Every structure is written in structure tokens, then in C-alpha cells.
Structure 1
Amino acid sequence: MPSLTYAEENYLKAIYHLSDDGKHNVSTNDLSKEMKTKPASVSDMLRRLSDKAVINYRKYYGVTITEEGKKSALQIIRKHRLWEVFLVEKLMFSWDEVHEVAEELEHIKSNLLIQRLDDFLGNPKYDPHGDPIPDEYGDVKARPRMPLNELQMNDGGQIVAVKDSSAAFLRYLDKVGAYIGARIKILDKVEFDGSLEILVDNKKTLFMSKDVAANILIIQTS
């Protein structure tokens, strides 16, 4: 894989996510918003990444990620998610504290360190937010999941991931007791605004807005 700088890795990871794992073109404007920088700076970076053959870039036509770029992006994501597991399980960080720290650690270049970290953690398949961890070959085994707000009355499921991993959202979920692994059942779905009344683990009732529920991903069990 090509040698990438810290900044180049951040851009490549953003392109991978914005392209829906490499399925679509990404516009310069969308990337500019994601990276919180001017379009001219984005264009300069895209030319650098194109020179390294990790993206295809044509001015005014947007950018696509190459197969080599996908491999590099997945390895960055792998490192990030493994470090999040380590921070939560071994250093007792809460799940709302780990993203920024993992953003720093994901740029460590040692493949041997990352492989030993993976083995030390017991080769986890998912990070603390429920996102799948790519293996050393870049393979991702994602499980089928759906937004909680799509469930209907009396449907049940298990929370397996979140779409919004911002610290504020995760702290909110901690406050109301909605966590990865929780079993839920829909007791009521309000026609007016789509808000939900939910039974958690057969003992606690929560009232949740449609917007919050849309950012919680579940595996349906009934």
C-alpha cells in the first residue's frame, strides 16, 4: 500500500465513508464540508491522493476511491476501531470518550503492533459502537441491521450499533439506558410524530423521539 501522510489518511477515510464504502462519487463540496476546510484546499489534497493512485479525481466530476484506496482506508478504519475496543475494555474509557483518542492512534504505522493488539483483544468483530472491524485482509463481516424507528407495534429486537457516534448522543443513550446489547420491544408508536414507547430488557420503559430512534440500529428478533 502507498505511504500516506496523517492528513492524507484522514481525507481518504472521509472519502471512503462519504462514498458509502466506495459505491458512489464524492463531490468536492461534500468533502469540503466533512473536512471543514475550503474547496481549494480539498482540490490540492485530491490531486495528491490521485498521484498516489488511491483515488480517481477529475475536476468538476468528483472523486471515486480506487481498489488500492479502499484497502488503505479499511486498514485505517481497522486500527481506529481496534483502538476504540482497547480504550473501552482495557483502559476503562466510556464509549463517548474514545473517538478523538482513536483518531490519533489510527495513524500508527506498525502492522505488527496492530496484529498483536487484535490478538490481545481476542480478535473482536465489532467496536464499542457496534461497527464491524475489518480483518487484516480488509474483509468486513457486517450483520444485517435496521433503524429502530422502522419497527412497528409489538416488534422486538436487540440494539447492535449506533449511526450517530457523537459524544453528546452517546451520553444521552447512557442517560436513558439504551446500550449496545439491550433487548427492546415497541409498546407504542405515535402516529403524529413517529415517537416511540419502548420496553428495554423487559423492565424499563423509555419514550424516544423518531430522530433518536433513527440513529439506533437493531437486529429484529420478532
Structure 2
Amino acid sequence: MLSSEVKDLYDAGRIATRQMIRFDFGTGTYGYIADKDEFTHGGLTYQPFGLIEVSDLGGGVGTTADGNFTLRLAASEEFDLTPEMLTQIEDEDYRDRPVRVMDAHFHPDTGALLQVETVARGYIDTMEHFESPEGGAYIEAACEGRQLDYTRKNGRFRTNADQKKRDEGDMFFEHSALSGRIELIWGRSGPSGAQPAPNRTSWQGTVSRGFLGLFRR
């Protein structure tokens, strides 16, 4: 949700917005901003990287949401980004790693940061390399939206110890560890010291005759 100050500047057509991308690769966390200068936010320095094109974001709600999107980054002489540098992405552990697309809103007069708005979150699926007809190189990352999280397990277990992590006084699973571990004497002699059920023989006979009697009627 945009702040009231940002909304007012939008309505007046005076807001200064810069796109930001954050990649949480297995080999490191990288941030880039569509600006000529680097920018530090949340403990991460975002490097100037020109414009990274983001596809239209899908709509929908819940598990049916189509949140998939693509990111395209082209080689740029202005930012010393050569086609050879684009291929270095293959040295990174990027598959199924989080990516976050943000809009950073700045005050047009003071340059102060007003708000960072997250516009898309997802996981990188594939990374393809292309050569455009004009001779320029670019890479395109296909990202799966966060609706994928609905199918992921949360790692919790139905145990007393796990339940206490949520509520120390919750004893709902106090006896769950005993499930399936109680030995019942059923129609046979139990272990040493166990007493057989009274009238066990006659009881078995009654049950057997009653069961067979169902087929004799």
C-alpha cells in the first residue's frame, strides 16, 4: 500500500520512482537499481544497472493466482555491461532462488526516500540467453510467482515438542508419543506377568458361533 504522501505526489505527477531488483542466489545476494548511482537499502547496496524490463504481472487470488513474470536485462555500453558479462550469470546458483521486484519512491525536490514498494516476488525458474536481430545480447529470467508457496510444506510436526514452540502451555499432543505403543491382550496369552481375560475361551466360542450363524440363516 502506498503512503498518502506518495499517492499525493503521484496524483500531482511529481513522484520520482526507481525500479529495484533483489536476487537471493545461493552464491550471494545482489541488488540492482535503475539509476546512475548506487543506493543502500535494508543493509544491501543496490548497484546501478540501467533498466531491467519486467513483464506484466498476472492477477488472481489464492492458489489460482497467476503470479509468474519475466525479467529481461540487455547488454549496455552505458553501464559497461557486455554480452560476455551476461554469460557470467551461469556461474551463479540461481535456480529456484528468490527474486524481488520493487519500486523505490523518492521525493522530487529533496531526493529523500519516501517508500519502497514490493510489486512482485517469485523464484527464478530458467535463465535464457538471446541475441536480438539488431545485434544486442540480453538474458531473460522466467520467474514463478509466490503462489508456489501454497504447495510447500511448512516443516512442522504433530508432536508435543513442536506444539510447545507455538504455545508453551498447550498440552494437546501430550500423549501423542504413546500412540501405537500400548500392548493389548486380545484372545491369547500375554507376556509374562500378564493375566488373560476372564472366560477367554468361552467368549471366543460365543463370537465364533455368532459370526458363523450369520451365514446359516
Q: Normalized against structure 1, the TM-score is what? A: 0.28
Q: Normalized against structure 2, the TM-score is what? A: 0.28
The structure with more strand, counted as a fraction of residues: 2
Task: Report the structure number with the largest CA radius of gyration.
Answer: 2
